[in-house]
Chains A and B, each alone.
Chain A
Amino acid sequence: MIPGISIYELLTVTSILFFIGVYGFITRKNLISILISVELILNASVINFVVINKYMYPDMLQGVLFSIFIIAVAAAETALAVSIIINLYRQINSVEVKDIETMKY
């Protein structure tokens, strides 16, 4: 718990973080940036879990435990995504979305 800061400010920050992530996912043109945007979304929910646990239900640790699992799974997800991106880069020498897209509609 941070003295002087209530749960409202913290949840506002995580909401903003979440929507930055969604916006970035839609607008970015580079695969790595899209991946970073997804990480922002995941981290927003991690902070959400910790904050809610700490401020509202401090006698149980369910939210904190959940956040540890999210971090671990997010790492696995990133590793897989990066390995696929590397494989794609070997074939077309680019990680831009417009070079990758061949299938449409």
Chain B
Amino acid sequence: MNIDSLLVMRQEISLLAIILLLLVAEIFMAKNKKHSIVHLAIFLFGVHTLVGFLPLTENSLFGGMFRTNGLIHFFKNVLNIGVLILLLQSADWLQEKIVSQNKGTEFFVLLFSSLLGMYFMISSGDFLMFYLGLELSTLPVAALAAYETANRKSSEAGIKLILSSALASGVSLFGISMLYATSGSIYFADVIELITATQLTSLGAILFFAGLAFKISLVPFHFWTADVYQGAPISIASYLSVISKGAAVFILMILLFTVLKPLIHVWENMIYVVAVATMFIGNLFALRQQNMKRFLAFSSIAQAGFILLGLIAGTQLGMATVVYFVLIYVFSNLAAFGVVQAISLQTGKEHIKDYEGLYRTNPNLSLVMMLALFSLAGIPPVAGFFGKFFLFTAAASEGYYFLVFLAVVNVTISLYYYLLVVRAMFLRKSDTPIPFFKNKIYMRIGLIITVIGILILGLYSPLYDHIYELSGNFNR
């Protein structure tokens, strides 16, 4: 094997180098200079993100266990951008709360390890690599959810996350063992050729789907979501809802469209039911939430239901729309979480009631929040509209008109509760509004990037064409 071929793993190697560098920096850094680790980590990750945009050839390594192509590479860049925005938004929280407890470096190491797991997961070429990537992406996040060790709710969130994800991966493994029994191989390339729609493979595929559905928080498996989001630190909640969910959706999509394609009649019906249940339950429960974090948790469950509309299509169009929607969702949801984090850091307030009269005191923040919520709801000028529109087109092109109708009903419901927050910010008056405050530089950059993304992505059509072209890689 030529040493050059390892450069296919360029993204993984550079992220691993960052992790090691941070560990070394932690050892040699003077005790009173610990706060500069945040700047160092953000700088290194920014360089890593920029380098990631360089093109990469299609290839596979280790006898097909690791593979990469245009779409996978593109999606890794999406994850990179998401994590970079998230780091910028949580820099102040880290400086004030975490570095003072001398836990700054561990935060970055755990976060980057989890991202490394996601890289391996989405470019896995067999079930073993997939499983290892899945676990590597989940375990550090559970540790991060329990990161505020003095906070009881944080520990509760951690234990709920680790137990439900352990159950999920166990169920998923049981499904994989059944797929292995029918095909005699754990490599995707071999399984594709040998798999047929028998009862055993159907059961295996269903169990496997259940395991990944936990990570995406689809409805029968969504119980941990709201509790974990509420208890965990806000940056971890947004990581779970954006990055972790995006990576799981991506790998689920690839596996359904390639490996489990012969079972399409099984998972079609399953996804139909799950999509309807996810949209309705996510939206109806979001109506009665008072805490912003729980509110965003249920809204993210509902958004996962919309993503399934692209999955059910099972075509190149479906694949392109899902990736495009996830890209937009990264920006809109990170903007919403960013505002919640900024307000929570300054005032400690997280209730929707506390947001009343925000426009009078903090007009910029409330504008960002409004754009984010409009994008999540899918109101035309902003990017979210185009994402949802394309997803519905993909489902309708395969003849799922009734499902699209139900989805449109759900968009209407979701509009109501998103506008409740907007009304609280813009129309309501409050005797004790959140006082004016100025965000620090990192937070401001993070929010500005998300706003640019929300405004530009929907109108810049070459991007969608590019994604559509790339997704041809999997549909030959």
Query: In the complex, are the beta carbons of B156 and A57 less than 8 A apart?
Result: no
Q: What is the bound-complex CA distance between A82 and B135, given in angstroms?
A: 17
Residues in B with CB closer than 8 Å to A76 are 135, 139
Count how many chain A residues have C-beta atoms less than 8 Å from C-beta atoms of the other chain: 41
**What's the minimum C-beta distance from A1 to chain B, rounded to whole angstroms?**
16
What is the distance, in angstroms, from A79's C-beta to the closest C-beta of chain B? 9
Complex contact A80–B173 (CB within 8 A): no
Q: Which of B103-162 contact A (CB under 8 A)?
A: 127-128, 131-132, 135, 139, 142-143, 146, 149, 152-153, 155-159, 162
Q: Closest A residue to B136 by CB, please name it.
A: A73
B50 within 8 A of A: no
Tell me, yes or no, whether A85 is within 8 Å of chain B by CB: yes
Instruction: Tell me if B227 is interfacial: C-beta within 8 Å of chain A.
Output: yes
Interface string of A9-33 (1 = CB under 8 A from B): 0000000001001100100000100
Closest to A18 in B: B174
A88 touches B171 (CB 8 A): no
B132 touches A73 (CB 8 A): yes
Chain B residues with CB under 8 Å of A101's CB are: 156
Decide: A88 near B181, CB < 8 A? Known: A66-B127, A77-B162, A80-B139. Answer: no
Per CB-CB distance, the 9 closest pairs between chain A and chain B, nearest first, are: A41-B170, A48-B177, A45-B173, A88-B155, A57-B184, A103-B227, A38-B166, A84-B158, A45-B174
Between-chain CB contacts (< 8 Å), 30 pairs: A21-B170, A25-B167, A31-B159, A34-B163, A38-B167, A41-B171, A42-B169, A42-B173, A44-B174, A49-B177, A52-B177, A52-B181, A56-B181, A60-B185, A62-B185, A62-B186, A63-B180, A63-B186, A66-B127, A66-B128, A66-B131, A66-B186, A80-B139, A80-B162, A84-B162, A87-B149, A88-B159, A102-B156, A103-B157, A104-B227
Taking A85-B159, A88-B159, A92-B152 as given, write out 13 further A-B residue pairs in contact, using a Cβ cutoff of 8 Å, ordered by the A residue number. A35-B163, A38-B167, A41-B171, A44-B174, A45-B177, A49-B177, A69-B132, A70-B131, A73-B131, A73-B135, A80-B162, A84-B159, A105-B226
